Amino acid sequence: MAQSLPTQTDGEAPLLTVAVLSYDGRHLLELILPSLARQSFRDFEVVVVDNGSRDDTVAWLGEHWPEVQVISLAQNIGVTAALNVCARAGRGELVGLFNNDLEVDPDCLGELVAALREHPQAGWAGAKLRDFEQRDVLDGAGDVFTWAATGGRRGHGERDVGQYDEPRAIFGACGGAALYRRSTLQQVGDFDEDFFAFYEDVDWNLRAQLAGFSCRYVPSAVVYHMGSATIGRGLSDFTRYHLWRNTLWIIAKDLPARALLRHAPHLLLGQLVNLAVAIRDRKLTIWLRVWRDALRGLPRMLRKRREVQARRQISASALDAVVGADGGR
């Protein structure tokens, strides 16, 4: 098995660019980069986008991984903006977006590439995520979206006994372990930087589905995920705020009018659940700030809505095939 990353020349571009986003994550790169070096598929380049790290990541990469291309951002510009830098990086026809807190199975890249080759109508594909510490526990088997406007990972926390081993079309892929056609990224557009962090991939997945692209879940492509190794575990106030606010913006921006009317009860229930959780956890001030800021940003979202709906290629009924009350599980 190879122990070094492929070395690219100035000649023909590789098929795949693997872009790894990192912030103060040198210790995490010590895990993911060797796992990328062990890949059986070899037609790829690696780009690390360093989001203003303070731990000498850039110098360390130059010393230990000179074959890695480094994009060094002067300061932390936020997860979503840095993700867009990753999406535009490199020369590959395919772009892999990977968080730094992963160990990648040796066949992962090859399986994802093969899935996109086998399904030319698919615009992107996602891996099976397992827990890094408990490797028989699922971290996610593809992303789902419900009519309560909540996103989630199918099978999260379940013991992996093969119940999600069927390759299939699915709503979306976690933006931290997925392969995209560069042409799809360009047609759907950037991850929405107004979201800053959380649900930016859910928003992109929904816009891609509306634009007529499909996503593949590839269970034979496995990654082991440490889980919030960069931002920390637990539902912090920062996390609550961005999840709740960004949910409102997804509703305003992405859902077709007919879907809004048809699924209004589910959407209302989702917001009532958030309110109940805010009251239970004594986070009502955060919930109020969410609504204040969501309404302030509503004119921007409505302008973006016109663009999203103008690109829409599927009907509201067709959207029901990938979104459901249970998220299409």
Q: Give the tens place of pLDDT for each residue, 35-94.
A: 999 999 999 999 999 999 999 999 999 999 999 999 999 999 999 999 999 999 999 999
Q: Which residues of 137-163 are buried (b: 16+ CB within 10 A; e: fewer)?
A: ebbbbbbbbbbbbbbebbbeeeebeee
Rounded-to-integer distance, Cα 57 and Cα 192, Å: 27
The residue assigned the tokens 């990648």 is 104
Position 233 confidence tier, pLDDT thresholds 50, 70, 90: low
| Percent of the chain residues past pLDDT 70, beyond the cut | 95
Is the model's pLDDT at 281 over the cut of 80? yes
> Which residues are within 8 A (CB) of 268 and not within 5 positions of it... i.e. 6 or more apart?
none
Q: Which CATH class is domain 16-225?
A: alpha beta
Helix (H, G, I), strand (E, B) or coil at 248: helix
What does the pLDDT look like over 262-278, one tens digit per residue? 999 999 999 999 999 99
Q: What pLDDT score does 8 carry?
A: 67
Of the candidates 53, 48, 84, the one whose C-alpha atom is nearest the C-alpha of residue 65 is 48
Average model confidence (pLDDT) across the chain: 93
Q: Are strands 69-73 and 94-99 parallel, antiparallel or unpaired?
A: unpaired
Between 6-20, 120-134, 214-228, the lowest mean confidence (pLDDT) is in 6-20
Rounded-to-integer distance, Cα 172 and Cα 224, Å: 18
Domain residue spans in the chain?
16-225, 237-319
